[in-house]
Structure 1
């Protein structure tokens, strides 16, 4: 769940009903079975198969030795300090943040990479179930929004997270889940991209997957998944990155797979047992 999901805020929406595909089954015919027409023939190839097996083991052993030697920096003759190029999904090597404010990672690097890390972690916080609690929401906004914009954000979101809106989601008026149900609202960043940056400002796009719904046996709002992209304009203030503006749009969304939808109990158990991450670009 993120800011753009609420009525009257941004242009994003995650209210669509999403279906779940069935589970496909594939039958695989294994060779050498009773139905194999060659089942009892060509025994003369056993020596060849043994040779292939031995050669395969030797190749794997050589590869393992080469890999081990490559990872031993102490014996490497390469003394350069240049870092290898990284792929779009690889970490750059900078140390992640080591502190938190209101439970949210803080103390990001003063560079574009730090801005990306901040935007990803802020997306998680702003899309969490904690946003449905007035007290917790105010704490989150104070931690991630630039000080001059905090009051504006609070006023806007107070008008969005209304008792009626909570009831529409199947929640109690205060945003808590009814007894016997588990409310799920999670945002998971898939990737980040800086579109503009200066020494003290950056615009970052965060591609996300999200979960939203009420897990319970008789829930009329089951947990569904959505895909969306958040755009956050950040500024460097008081020694850290903070959000100035925040918006959201749908997608990019992949083609749904053939996974069978899990039961409400399985979803509730997963949400309770699996914690989140601190994201670092």
Structure 2
């Protein structure tokens, strides 16, 4: 697992032939065959996709020899982690905004989240970036490591399948309200513990981003449950307290407007807070890697 973390830190995600992209194409092809405005069909789709990923993990761990098994674990860990790519996307957003290139920042935001950037100004682009980095620190780094620690390679692959399906079909719109229900609920369950670990690690590492652990803990405890997502709020509240900013507000997704409660007591995020959030996310990721390895060793 540590080798996989190191590979992600050095190489980030492969640009071509990424296993997650291959899985996404297979899941999309299966959706064409199974789609119906039905929870049952959506549940079947999720069961086949996640079950296949877990089975692949089981088969992969049957290789003989400790070196071969270690190589499989390292490759699987690298393939499901996205921490370095997340940090690079945050740095790219910071660079666009520092240069005053709003058009470039608006176009780049789609790499981090699905909100409509067309009317966002500098402050809202900064907020969107910080919020996305906070949430994705759990989804792309902490959660895969947690599941890898408790369930090995099958856990790594199954979690990434769950999270990818949620991103693909776990939406509240006319097409996926029912078909994507199982994917969205399973993702909530899979991320329940990792999101709370992310929040706690953000509290502990807050000083590395120039923040206060006490303030981060207070905001997490007070505001973590206020987000409409049962998990994202824990991450965003902890980051808000650690960075001493206020997150939340009005977001637009494909014509749908959501008004989210504010979290934190500080000022609105500024461009400089993006790089601070990247630094905090990196610290949380390394702390999670250490915690995951200790958990796996004890297991």
Q: TM-score range by the shorter chain?
A: under 0.3
Name whichever structure is richer in helix by fraction: 2
TM-score when normalising by structure 1 = 0.27
Name whichever structure is richer in strand by fraction: 1
Max Rg structure: 1
